[in-house]
Amino acid sequence: MMKQLAAAVQMRTGADVEANLTRTRALTTEAAERGASLVVLPEVFAWRGLRADEAAATTPIPGPVSDFLCRLAADLRIVLVAGSFLERAADAGKSFNTSLVLLPDGTIAARYRKIHLFDIDLPGEVSVRESDTREHGRDVVTATTPLGTIGLSVCYDLRFPELYRKLTRAGATILTVPSAFTFYTGAAHWEPLLRARAIENQAYVIAPNQAGKSPHGFADYGNSMIVDPWGVVVARAGEGEQVILAELDLERVARVRREMPCQLHATLAR
């Protein structure tokens, strides 16, 4: 099957895990009922609170959050890219920011741990140091699914195009970017970066974002997007929680790559 509907789920996640998972189920069910066979959740969909409380919010895999996701994918018979949640690391007090891919039978197809951590200081706007509480992932990860090969990334990864070229060379035709992009950086860079990654790699990009005000005091950007392999934004959210959908046409990916074979021409980057 070369065409299917994909959904990006925009959320406003807080510190109540059970409430977040209940909302996750409701929005994912809405997406499935509207015809989506692929649903992508945002970054930190299961818990988002203060850095001081992170250690208590981490969970192992398998564990309560991954078990919930397996059941959800199986119940709805969908491919589910579970944005990210905090996976307990061996280093006490730290976590990986982990994205899972669940298949329609409820099995885990892939686990990606966010490689690039958001350590930035924009005076008067945003100051974050994720590495204080989180560990870097090391592996570039794709997932083979009935809908095509999915290349996994999370939020700040978006600024590092070499990651996406590796994902594309590994066979990805769909790139997922679950995020909690801040309003300040999002207003300037979110759409240009998403469209660039789609154009460069001639792939669909699905980027669900957080919306509203983060627990750290700054606003999230919202504006979740699905971008086609020509760089056209084919679905876009506004503010607040919502589900956006777009048709993915993998024949279009193949045609764009055939007519403009950038992947074959990219000799300098090999």
Question: Is 33 part of the annotated catalytic residue set?
Answer: no
**Three-class SS of the chain:** CCEEEEEEEEECCCCCHHHHHHHHHHHHHHHHHCCEEEEECCCCCCCCCCHHHHHHHCECCCCHHHHHHHHHHHHHCCEEEEEEEEEECCCCCCEEEEEEEECCCCCEEEEEECCCCCEEEECCCEEEEHHHCECCCCCCCEEEECCEEEEECCHHHHHCHHHHHHHHHCCCCEEECCCCCEHHHHHHHHHHHHHHHHHHHCCEEEECCEEEECCCCCEEECCCEEECCCCCEEEECCCCCEEEEEEEEHHHHHHHHHHCCHHHHCCCCC
Q: Is 166 a catalytic residue?
A: no
Round to whole Å and give the CA distance between 150 and 53: 32
Of 3, 9, 13, which is closest to residue 30 (Cα–Cα)?
9
Q: Which of 43, 54, 87, 130 is labelled catalytic?
A: 43
Select which of 70, 114, 130, 135 is catalytic.
114
Structure token pair of residue 152: 């996994």
Q: Is 155 a catalytic residue?
A: yes
Q: Single out the catalytic residue among 54, 87, 155, 241.
A: 155
How far is residue 11's CA from residue 118's CA, in Å, rounded to a whole number? Answer: 20
What amino acid positions are annotated as catalytic residues?
43, 114, 155
